[in-house]
Amino acid sequence: MNDERHRRSAASASPPAPPLLRAAAAWSWRLIAIGAVGYGLVWIIGTLKIVFLPCAIALFLCALLRPLTARLERAGLPSLAATWITMLIALAVLGGIGTFVGIQANQEFPKLATEVQATARSLQHWLETGPLHVKHSQIQNSIDQGINYLEKRRGKLANTAVQAGAVTLEVLAALVLMLFITFFLLKDGARIWDWTIGGTGRYRPRIDRAGRAAWETLSQYVHGTVMVAAIHAVVLAVVLAVLGVPLVAPLAVVIFLGSFIPIVGILVGGALAVAVAFAAKGGLIALIFLGVLIIEHQAESHLLQPLLVGRLVRLHPLAIILAISVGGIVGGIPGAAVAVPVAAVVYRAWPALRDPPEELPPDVAAATEPPGGDEPPGDDRPDRPAGDDERAGGDERAGEDERVGGDERERPPEGENDGDGSGGKAGRGGADD
């Protein structure tokens, strides 16, 4: 009866799922959990971008300025004085560059406006007399349509100006926060890092190793990128000055800042410079500058980047494009600027984080060991290493062997008590003789 019931239950039971389906289901819920966590992190970063972006930029500035602070500290200056001197030097350099760019833009903007008008007239004349044979009335109608388009959207432009004012206030607040964070990172960066990983317990060496690898990668990326961007901006500024294009300094600053966004930044900055060259000097000068830009960009990609940035932070172009796209969606232009170094840092820190933890130093092990240990209650004896136990056991066994040997040596021979006693008599006889 029981056998028949067992057979019926086995026949009615559903067959087990295939191993491939079980593995796919296990990986599916894990991927869903990872996606939910990633979406939450993206939402938090997007909501608090006024905090996260200044922190990211402050990290880049700290990686750029930290060698100067360390050199001043090695020269004998206190940490606070070295940090203040570094910050003042950086602010002086930025203020000087900004003042020079503003003065040149104020002086050359009227000249640019005049040259743009002349170029527009030349272009209009070419359209009318050239191979296209565009009528003057068609050109004027296009200009009138553009003016009417701007007039209809004057209210939207006013709202955009108000929004730009609010954004300006946010930028100023983020700038102040960035300066504070940079100052304290330069002054107390090592102590902040030690405090951050202080509660990680036995995983502290692994996290510390990954953090140091990430910092080395970030430092190398920032220093190399600044050098590449400076060379890029100086070369193109010299070319623009030789060609007689106005606004050389502002365009050089735009190209310098654009070089921090790989691939995309150089396209935007170069396109703006080509447009200014075309508007000011015509199509031939614009084509010459475009050719120089392409040659210089190829030299940068194949020579300067591997030499100055190094192979430590080099990523595949597809990975760069994907990182810039994700960063641009999450954080706009600042997000696109920090996306590539973040991807490089994660790429270098992940292997160090996956390595097994190293043995803790004695002081760290004593600090992270829980109170009380694993000893049973009432046992106050200190733990001894296995080697000490083995030596103690060996000493006890040696003592027992010595006691047993001594007992055997003190015990009289059996011949003195048993048998005919010839051995004992012979011994006594030998002694009498």
What's the pLDDT score for residue 227?
A: 87
Q: Which of 290, 341, 280, 293 is nearest to 314 (CA)?
A: 341
| Rounded Cα–Cα distance for residues 364 and 362 (Å) | 6
What's the pLDDT score for residue 85?
A: 94
Q: Which residues contact 252 (CB under 8 A, 6 or more apart)?
A: 233, 234, 236, 237, 240
Torsion, CA 86, CA 89, CA 93, CA 95, rounded to 10? 110
Q: Which residues contact 289 (CB under 8 A, 6 or more apart)?
A: 239, 240, 243, 245, 273, 274, 277
| Rounded Cα–Cα distance for residues 213 and 211 (Å) | 5
CA distances from 249 to 257, 273, 375 (A): 12, 11, 73
What's the pLDDT score for residue 17?
A: 75
AA letter at 43: W
What's the pLDDT score for residue 361?
A: 52
What's the pLDDT score for residue 84?
A: 93
What's the pLDDT score for residue 334?
A: 75
| Rounded Cα–Cα distance for residues 160 and 174 (Å) | 20
What's the chain's length in residues?
A: 433
10-residue mean pLDDT series, the chain (433 residues): 58 69 87 89 81 86 91 91 93 89 80 72 72 70 70 62 68 88 90 87 86 88 86 89 87 86 79 86 87 85 70 69 80 77 84 65 49 42 44 48 47 44 41 39
Residues 215, 220, 225: CA angle, nearest 5 degrees: 130
DSSP string across 355-411: SPPPPPPHHHHHHHSPTTTTPPTT--PPP--HHHHHHHHHHHHHHHHHHHHHHHHHS
Structure-token match 């009417």, residue found: 148
AA letter at 267: L
Q: Contact 217/348 with Cβ under 8 angstroms?
A: yes
What's the pLDDT score for residue 310?
A: 59
SS (HEC) of 163-210: HHHHHHHHHHHHHHHHHHHHHHHHHHHHHHHHHHCCCCHHHHHHHHHH
Locate 214 and state its tokens: 């990430």
DSSP string across 233-246: HHHHHHHHHHHT-S
- Full-prediction pTM beyond 0.85? no
> How do residues 47-101 score in pLDDT, each as one tens digit?
887 888 888 889 989 999 999 999 999 998 998 999 999 999 999 998 888 888 8
| Rounded Cα–Cα distance for residues 338 and 333 (Å) | 9
Locate 14 and state its tokens: 């559903």
